[in-house]
């Protein structure tokens, strides 16, 4: 994810998600809040699942679990 | 964007005999977290910047700044020995390109215990703009009771630096003072929030409404029942903040700041200053009275605010929740550890064990807080027994 952000043309995305080398961390300063924003606002898991087999299985698994509960 | 490019920030601070610090030299990131046990000097380190602000502010100046702190002997480090002068040196960097500023001040007191400047220097890039004491000071020693920084008629070549110092803002909101502003009347820019409502009232209406709306949006996470926030004046014209709470009554109910919880008020104060652009923002324990789940997101909120305003944020904290954030750089955390020769200040990045613990999957809080734990804290439990 960080590498995707690194290639972004938008400076705000790069600055929020990509860690500064001097900081010694794996993610940037506003990484989790950006992801929360993305996941809750824009992300469409069903469409993403068409391209990601593991996500498709995870969703199917969760659906089974909720049916069982 | 222009606003951001024009922003200056502190990039390093060097101290000698300043309060807890016998000697220290620290590099400052754009966001700084000061962590250390009680009385290790977190507030005293913030006070360096408040001192600079006092020097350059109207109604301030060198004499007044020293007086407010109880005189030279109250400022001087107890560990000061042969070398008695108090010295501070700061480097201030413009956002990009232009040369950095350097300001240095050394002072002491004369036999009558009056504060005296021993040296004052202003450098920009490789040009020295001021070097004192100079010939004028030699002819008239009384000049050494004032810095050139505070004098408009001589600071022209470095006024940008003076205005930068003046733009520093310290905030430590005490909810009781926001609710009862009478106690701090006559103190504009009161760091404890005494004039918080007045400042909101003074803000241009459009800006104010926009900001209050954004605060309401942000507060939705913490106080979901809060529907609306507005400024409201009572019969005497005194400004109040009031909020409309969703309620069992269909219209909801209005409450003023007097009924807001401590946490809600402090959070509103934090969010309000976060939206202001300006000089470095000094925050004293922003986590106070806030729920841990809110505290966790403060570092991210500050990071995003900074991206917009470019404003430097320097804060002190005791909160493991705040330090749990994964985006806090190790160079942004300054550890204060008291020792016999005064307090030492080091960035978390300088400790190999902290780096190792993080590599091993621990959080920054887990790695850093044990280093700041007061020795024998368990003794407190014996407090009432003797």
C-alpha distances out from residue B270 to A14, B4, B286, B301, Å: 26, 20, 8, 10
**Could you give the ipTM of this predicted complex?**
0.81
Contact between chains at A24 and B358 (C-beta distance less than 8 A): yes
Residues of chain B in Cβ contact (below 8 Å) with chain A:
29, 31, 297, 299-301, 303-304, 307, 325-332, 349, 355, 358
A51 to chain B, minimum CA–CA distance in Å?
29
Rounded Cα distance, B260 and B256, in Å: 7
Residue B381 has pLDDT above 60, yes or no: yes
More confident residue, B353 or B240: B353
B289 to chain A, minimum CA–CA distance in Å?
22
Rounded Cα distance, B115 and B201, in Å: 39
Closest-CA residue in chain A for B32?
A23
Q: Is A23 part of the contact surface with chain B (CB cutoff 8 Å)? A: yes
Residue B273 located in a structural domain = yes
Each residue's pLDDT tens digit, B293-326:
888 889 998 998 888 888 999 999 989 999 999 9
Each residue's pLDDT tens digit, B114-134:
999 999 999 999 999 999 999
Range of the domain at B251: 169-278
Give the predicted TM-score (pTM) of the model: 0.88
In degrees, rounded to 5, the angle at the alpha carbon of residue B140 between the alpha carbons of residues B115 and B60 is 40
A22-31, B172-181, B273-282: range with lowest mean pLDDT: B172-181
Each residue's pLDDT tens digit, B129-173:
999 999 999 999 899 999 999 999 999 999 999 999 999 988 887
Q: How confident is the model at residue B26 (pLDDT cuts 50, 70, 90)?
A: very high
B335-353: average pLDDT: 92
- The strand pairing partners of B245, in sequence order, are B226, B253
Q: How confident is the model at residue B181 (pLDDT cuts 50, 70, 90)?
A: low
B284 to chain A, minimum CA–CA distance in Å?
20
Closest CA to B226 of B234, B217, B235: B217
Contact between chains at A31 and B327 (C-beta distance less than 8 A): yes
Contact between chains at A24 and B332 (C-beta distance less than 8 A): no
Residue B69 located in a structural domain = no
Q: What backbone phi and psi angles, to 5 degrees, belong to B373?
A: -70, 130
Residue B176 located in a structural domain = yes
Residue B179 located in a structural domain = yes
Residue A49 has a pLDDT of 94
Please tell me which of A38-47, B1-10, B215-224 the model is most confident about, judged by mean pLDDT.
A38-47
Each residue's pLDDT tens digit, B182-205:
654 545 666 777 777 878 888 899
Contact between chains at A29 and B328 (C-beta distance less than 8 A): yes
More confident residue, B173 or B348: B348
Under a CB-based contact definition with an 8 Å cutoff, are residues B266 and B174 in contact? no
Contact between chains at B307 and A12 (C-beta distance less than 8 A): yes
Residue B209 located in a structural domain = yes
Interface test with B, best of A12, A23, A38 (most B CBs within 10 A): A23
Residue B201 located in a structural domain = yes
Question: What is the domain count for chain B?
Answer: 1
Contact between chains at A32 and B326 (C-beta distance less than 8 A): yes
Contacts of B31 in chain A (CB under 8 A): 29
Rounded Cα distance, B347 and B336, in Å: 9
Residue B67 located in a structural domain = no
Residue B232 located in a structural domain = yes
Each residue's pLDDT tens digit, B57-114:
998 999 999 999 999 999 998 887 778 899 999 999 986 778 999 999 999 998 888 9
Q: Is A22 part of the contact surface with chain B (CB cutoff 8 Å)? A: yes
B327 to chain A, minimum CA–CA distance in Å?
4
Contact between chains at A20 and B301 (C-beta distance less than 8 A): no
- Supply B79's token pair: 């560990």
Contact between chains at A33 and B297 (C-beta distance less than 8 A): yes
């Amino acid at each position: 994810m960080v590498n995707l952000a690194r290639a972004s043309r938008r400076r705000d995305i790069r600055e929020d998600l990509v860690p500064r080398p001097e900081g010694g961390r794996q993610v940037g300063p506003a990484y989790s809040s950006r992801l929360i924003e993305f996941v809750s606002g824009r992300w469409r898991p069903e469409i993403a699942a068409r391209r990601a087999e593991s996500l498709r299985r995870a969703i199917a698994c969760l659906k089974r679990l909720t049916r069982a509960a | 964007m222009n606003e951001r490019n024009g922003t200056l920030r502190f990039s390093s601070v060097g101290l000698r005999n300043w309060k807890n610090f016998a000697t220290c030299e620290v590099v400052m990131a754009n966001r700084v977290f000061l962590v250390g046990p009680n009385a290790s000097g977190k507030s005293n380190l913030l006070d360096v910047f408040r001192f600079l602000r006092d020097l350059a502010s109207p109604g301030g100046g060198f004499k007044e700044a020293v007086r407010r702190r109880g005189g030279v002997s109250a400022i001087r480090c107890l560990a000061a020995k042969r070398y008695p002068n108090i010295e501070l040196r700061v480097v201030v960097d413009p956002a990009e390109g232009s040369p950095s500023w350097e300001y240095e001040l050394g002072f002491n007191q004369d036999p009558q215990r009056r504060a005296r400047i021993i040296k004052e220097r202003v450098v920009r890039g490789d040009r020295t703009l001021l070097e004192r004491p100079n010939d004028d000071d030699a002819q008239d020693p009384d000049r050494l009771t004032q810095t050139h920084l505070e004098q408009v008629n001589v600071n022209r070549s470095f006024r940008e630096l003076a205005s930068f110092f003046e733009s520093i803002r310290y905030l430590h909101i005490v909810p009781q003072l926001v609710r009862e502003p009478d106690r701090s009347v006559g103190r504009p820019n009161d760091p404890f929030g005494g004039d918080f409502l007045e400042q909101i009232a003074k803000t241009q209406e459009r800006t104010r409404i926009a900001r209050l709306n954004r605060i309401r949006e942000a507060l939705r996470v913490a106080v979901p029942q809060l529907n609306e926030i507005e400024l409201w004046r009572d019969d005497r014209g005194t400004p109040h903040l009031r909020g409309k709470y969703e309620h069992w009554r269909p219209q909801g109910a209005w409450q003023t700041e007097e009924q807001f919880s401590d946490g809600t008020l402090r959070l509103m104060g934090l969010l309000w200053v976060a939206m202001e652009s300006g000089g470095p923002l000094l925050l004293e324990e922003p986590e106070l009275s806030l729920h841990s789940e809110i505290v966790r997101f403060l570092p991210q909120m500050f990071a995003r605010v900074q991206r917009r305003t470019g404003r430097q944020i320097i804060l002190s904290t005791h909160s493991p929740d705040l330090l749990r954030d994964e985006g806090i750089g190790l160079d942004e955390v300054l550890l204060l550890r008291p020792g016999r020769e005064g307090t030492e200040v080091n960035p978390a990045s300088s400790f190999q064990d902290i780096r190792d613990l993080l590599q091993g999957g621990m959080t920054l809080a887990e790695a850093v807080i044990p280093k700041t734990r007061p020795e024998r804290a368990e003794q407190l439990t014996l407090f009432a027994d003797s």
